[in-house]
């Protein structure tokens, strides 16, 4: 993700290679009976060996306003991270550009030594010269330094999932991903992921290195990555969507109205409906709702048990 002014209504949050997906009963992503928290969404396997609950946590919002600097309430940020793990989240998504560096550092300070099975995914390839700026940097030398910096901040010997945050138009894609392939061969990265890629770019990436995740913007109103999702669903891959809600145009307002009606009928929030819709859309989905509030975290994760009716799904499209 690379927007500097994102609200809670706009943010959710960041698998190519061999990825097995656990299909759930009833609707394609119906809640799992008898389970609570993140586990209620079922599981998927990243890269053939990382089994995670299909509701992750995006750690972008544990930083300061504008994804810049320290959080206003550091104690609450740490409570959010601890509570996420208590509620069964075992996939946390972050990036070196969140803060910058603040999100990664807080994760390590709060959760290391990490519980068994917890997957920390991070990203590199975007610089933050100032709060409003998100500047692509795909130079191999930069990606190596970025990866090694993330290893140090996260207190890890190897990063389970390292995602190329954004293509740099000044650097050939093959050069950027070639460096990540070398880092993988060196054992510093277990799996490589990509973010903000289209189908053609994804195909090029897979020719350079086994890719284990795709993280793109996707929500009810913005389905520009529908074809990427289709590739993931067809091949049994996982798709990590961000920005579950949007507003500001006539078409988006129409979708917002549908969301509000379904939410009212279910007696839940529109954010919960948006997350439940993602889970129902495809078993390839791995949502990563993000927040800096424990109350909002608990609300988001409760969506894992929300079962939308066929009529509600049809209304939402």
Radius of gyration over every alpha carbon of the chain, rounded to an integer in angstroms? 18
Q: Strand, coil or helix: what is 125? A: coil
Active-site residue, selected from the candidate residues 98, 114, 162, 218: 98
What residues have CB less than 8 Å from 145, skipping those under 6 apart? none
Evaluate whether 242 touches 288 at the Cβ level (below 8 Å). Answer: yes
Active site residue 98: yes
**Coil, strand or helix at 217:** strand
Q: By the 8 A CB rule, do 210 and 218 touch? A: no
CA distance 104 to 99: 9
Structure tokens at 163: 């995602």
Measuring CA to CA, which residue among 91, 11, 104, 10 is closest to residue 54? Answer: 91
DSSP 8-43: TTT------SS--BPPPSTTTTPPPTT--GGGGG-E
Q: Is 18 exposed, middle or buried (0-12, 13-18, 19+ CB in 10 A)?
A: middle
Cα separation, 98 vs 147, in Å, equals: 14
User: Residues with catalytic annotation?
Assistant: 98
């Amino acid at each position: 993700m690379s927007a500097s002014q994102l609200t809670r209504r706009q943010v959710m949050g960041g698998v190519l290679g061999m990825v097995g997906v656990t299909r759930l009963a009833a609707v394609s992503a119906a809640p799992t009976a008898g389970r609570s928290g993140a586990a209620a969404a079922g599981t998927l396997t990243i890269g053939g060996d990382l089994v995670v609950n299909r509701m992750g946590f995006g750690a972008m919002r544990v930083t300061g306003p504008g994804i810049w600097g320290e959080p206003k309430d550091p104690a609450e940020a740490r409570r959010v991270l601890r509570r996420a793990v208590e509620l069964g989240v075992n996939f946390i998504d972050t990036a070196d550009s969140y803060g910058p560096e603040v999100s990664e550092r807080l994760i390590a300070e709060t959760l290391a030594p990490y519980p068994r099975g917890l997957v920390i995914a991070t990203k590199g390839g975007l610089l933050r010269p100032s709060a409003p700026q998100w500047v692509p940097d795909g130079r191999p030398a930069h990606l190596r330094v970025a990866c090694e910096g993330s290893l140090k901040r996260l207190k890890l010997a190897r990063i389970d999932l390292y995602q190329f945050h954004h293509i740099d138009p000044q650097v050939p894609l093959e050069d950027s991903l070639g460096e990540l392939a070398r880092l993988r061969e060196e054992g510093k990265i277990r799996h490589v992921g990509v973010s903000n890629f289209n189908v053609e770019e994804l195909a090029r990436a897979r020719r350079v290195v086994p890719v284990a995740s795709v993280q793109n913007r996707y929500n009810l109103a913005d389905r520009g990555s529908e074809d990427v999702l289709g590739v993931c669903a067809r091949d049994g891959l996982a798709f990590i969507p961000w920005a579950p809600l949007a507003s500001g145009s006539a078409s988006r307002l129409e979708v917002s109205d549908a969301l509000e009606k379904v939410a009212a009928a279910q007696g839940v929030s529109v954010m919960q409906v948006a997350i439940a819709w993602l889970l129902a859309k495809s078993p390839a989905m791995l949502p990563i709702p993000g927040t800096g509030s424990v109350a909002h975290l608990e609300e988001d994760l409760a969506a894992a048990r929300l079962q939308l009716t066929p009529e509600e799904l049809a209304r939402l499209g």
